[in-house]
């Protein structure tokens, strides 16, 4: 079953306008902060991904696209928050659609006039050729005219809810290679074929070229795409998807690249809703200002994106963050069971920093404070992934064996009060699993407990005896001691299903 844990999104580190907007949404709608944050990040990446890339550690240049998945039950005001946050992008899309209709009508007139001129010249050319006269001058005129064929206007479509791989690639191909798939009711998207197409998802997130083969017409190719995903989904719907496709969603790399959150519900506490919007209009105005920046030259060529670089202090901060993550990937450490997401979180931090920098209209390289803020949010999403999908960190076998042996001894002491010593030979009868038949493993486990000061091994006559430390074992018939073994681990959340 999905489990709900208390958590709060770290809002104070946001850029000022974003932070004020989060507080305003919380005051007026009283929705979970993490839900608002993910919606804002979806809007940020939708608006900005066409204009900027980020250069981070080892001179790697990455897109600023983000994949976001917010798990929230019915009644958490997902649709309301999304519609308000994405309003500028939605209006921009509508304006682009209307302008595209107008430009298409104009294009038809221009193209019709152009075609008449070409056809007229070709009639003249055929007449000259029929009379065996020179067509050299006419060839030049036709060539010049054909090279000046009016271009069909492009529709800039930055939002879509289509879920097939073909429709996604077609949309990317048609509008400059940038798109956001978003929905506040994401069940249809999560169950679609696109979510199982790891080639499309992984390549789009990384900015690598993608293509789709089609039976009825030529293949579609998109170079250097920018694809963001912002999905809000109910727990029961996501649970059903995991029953059907859980291994694929995790195994194909989609979840590893995704910033996931499952905020605690605010339902039952929403008594002071307001209706004053001071910062939301400013937020929408800033989004609209960015979206007015053209992405194509007059000839239809895509304008190159600006590459934002990390300042020296920001690079040092990201490097520090990366080293901390890398340390926790070691077997048995905190992130060893979620290595897939942990290996992508540093890049996500760099992308978030670039979005914060560009949104604020800052000049120069990305600063330490912006990078530090981005690392805080990346940490939040990393903890959410660990909480939802993590298990107990895996231990080296000898430590796991010593822990299992210790639990066996504790159970023996509970059943047999006042036990202070155990014959070493009895250990094989007490343990379970592989240790029962593997004497070297049993000996290694006993030695590990001895090194920890929990037992002592000595001989009485020809017998080896294990003496128990009362600090760790209930040798007086008490319930299990509160000072449990140091190798126990606090669970940070069970597997999602």
User: Which range has the worst mean pLDDT, 62-71, 168-177, 285-294, 457-466?
Assistant: 168-177
Does residue 211 have a pLDDT over 90?
Answer: no
Q: How far apart are the first and last CA of the chain?
A: 5
Mean pLDDT value across residues 114-140: 87
CB 367 within 8 A of CB 313: yes
What's residue 481's pLDDT? 32
pLDDT by residue (tens digit) across 371-384?
Answer: 999 998 999 899 88
- In this predicted structure, which of 47-56, 216-225, 419-428 has the lowest mean pLDDT? 216-225
Query: Alpha-carbon distance 402 to 408, whole Å?
Result: 10
3-state secondary structure labels for all residues of 91-103: HHHHHHHHHHHHH
The pLDDT assigned to 411 comes to 72
387 has a pLDDT exceeding 70: yes
User: Going by CATH, does the domain composed of 397-468 fall within 1.10.10.10?
Assistant: yes
CB 301, CB 47: distance < 8 Å: no
Per-residue confidence (pLDDT) for residue 490, from 0 to 100? 26
User: Residue 56's pLDDT is what?
Assistant: 96
Does pTM surpass 0.95?
A: no
* Range in 68-82, 430-444, 479-493 the model is least confident about: 479-493
Q: Is the pLDDT of residue 200 over 90?
A: no
Taking 70 as the threshold, does the pLDDT of residue 70 lie above it? yes
Query: Where does the pLDDT of residue 259 fall: very low under 50, low under 70, confident under 90, or very high at 90 and above?
Result: very high
Which of 266, 75, 47, 283 lies closest to 184, judged by CA? Answer: 75
HSE toward the beta carbon, residue 104, CA cutoff 13 A: 8
Provide the pLDDT for residue 162. Answer: 64
Question: What is the DSSP track for 187-237?
Answer: HHHHTSGGGG-HHHHHHHHHT--EEE--SSSPPEEESS-EEEEEEEE-HHH
For residue 71, the SS3 value is strand
Residue range 260-310, pLDDT digits in tens: 999 877 787 777 777 789 999 999 999 999 999 988 887 777 889 999 999
- Distance in angstroms (rounded) separating the CA atoms of residues 221 and 210: 6
Instruction: Report the C-alpha gap between 223 and 229 in whole angstroms.
Output: 19
Q: Tell me which of 1.10.860, 3.30.70, 1.10.20, 3.40.50 is the CATH number of domain 11-95+155-389.
A: 3.40.50
Mean pLDDT of 51-74: 93
Is the per-residue pLDDT at 7 higher than 50? no
* In the chain, where the domains are located: 11-95+155-389, 397-468
Higher pLDDT, 177 or 32: 32
**What is the mean predicted confidence (pLDDT) over 27-33?**
85
Q: How many CB atoms lie within 10 A of CB 229?
A: 27
- Pairwise CA distance, residues 208 & 166, whole Å: 17
Number of Cβ atoms within 10 Å of the Cβ of 363? 6
The residues, any chain, with a CB within 8 Å of residue 28's CB and separated by 6 or more, are: 273, 274, 275, 276, 277
In angstroms, rounded to a whole number, what is the distance separating the alpha carbons of residues 226 and 355?
A: 14
164 contacts 213 by C-beta, under 8 angstroms = no
- The partner residues of 230 in beta bridges, in order of sequence, read 68, 182
């Amino acid at each position: 079953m999905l489990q709900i844990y208390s958590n709060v999104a770290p809002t104070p580190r946001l850029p000022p306008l974003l932070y004020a907007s989060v507080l305003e949404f919380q005051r007026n709608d009283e929705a979970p902060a993490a839900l608002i944050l993910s919606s804002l990040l979806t809007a940020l990446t939708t608006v900005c991904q066409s204009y900027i890339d980020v250069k981070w550690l080892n001179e790697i240049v990455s897109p600023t696209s983000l994949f976001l998945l917010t798990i929230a039950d019915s009644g958490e005001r997902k649709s309301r928050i999304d519609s308000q946050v994405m309003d500028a992008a939605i209006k921009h899309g509508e304006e682009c659609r209307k302008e595209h209709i107008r430009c298409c009508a104009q294009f038809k007139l221009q193209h019709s006039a152009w075609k008449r001129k070409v056809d007229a010249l070709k009639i003249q050319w055929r007449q000259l050729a029929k009379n065996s006269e020179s067509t050299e001058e006419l060839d030049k005129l036709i060539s010049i005219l054909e090279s000046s064929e009016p271009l069909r206007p492009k529709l800039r479509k930055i939002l879509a809810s289509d879920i097939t791989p073909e429709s996604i690639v077609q949309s990317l191909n048609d509008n400059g290679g940038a798109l956001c798939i978003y929905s506040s009711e994401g069940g249809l998207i999560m169950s679609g074929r696109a979510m199982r197409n790891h080639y499309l998802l992984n390549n789009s997130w990384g900015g690598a070229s993608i293509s789709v083969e089609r039976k009825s017409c030529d293949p579609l190719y998109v170079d250097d795409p920018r694809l963001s995903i912002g999905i809000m989904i109910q727990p029961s719907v996501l649970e059903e998807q995991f029953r059907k496709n859980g291994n694929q969603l995790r195994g194909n790399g989609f979840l590893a690249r995704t910033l996931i959150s499952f905020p605690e519900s605010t339902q039952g506490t929403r008594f002071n809703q307001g209706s004053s919007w001071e910062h939301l209009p400013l937020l929408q105005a800033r989004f609209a200002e960015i979206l007015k920046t053209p992405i194509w030259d007059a000839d239809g060529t895509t304008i190159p994106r600006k590459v934002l670089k990390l300042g020296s202090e920001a690079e040092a901060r990201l490097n520090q963050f990366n080293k901390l993550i890398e340390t926790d990937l070691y077997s048995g450490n905190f992130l060893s069971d979620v290595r897939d997401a942990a290996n992508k979180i540093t890049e996500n931090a760099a992308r978030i920093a670039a979005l914060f920098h560009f949104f604020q209209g800052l000049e120069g390289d990305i600063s330490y404070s912006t990078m530090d803020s981005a690392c805080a949010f990346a940490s939040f999403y990393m903890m959410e992934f660990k909480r939802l999908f993590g298990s107990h960190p895996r231990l080296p076998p000898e430590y796991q064996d010593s822990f299992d042996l210790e639990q066996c001894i504790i159970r023996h002491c509970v059943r047999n009060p006042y036990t202070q010593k155990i014959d070493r030979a009895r250990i094989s009868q007490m343990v379970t699993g592989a240790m029962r038949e593997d004497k070297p493993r049993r000996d290694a486990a006993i030695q590990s407990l001895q090194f920890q000061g929990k037992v002592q091994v000595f001989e009485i006559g020809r017998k080896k005896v294990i003496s128990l430390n009362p600090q760790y074992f209930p040798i007086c018939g008490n319930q299990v001691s509160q000072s449990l073994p140091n190798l126990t681990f606090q669970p940070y959340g069970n597997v999602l299903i």
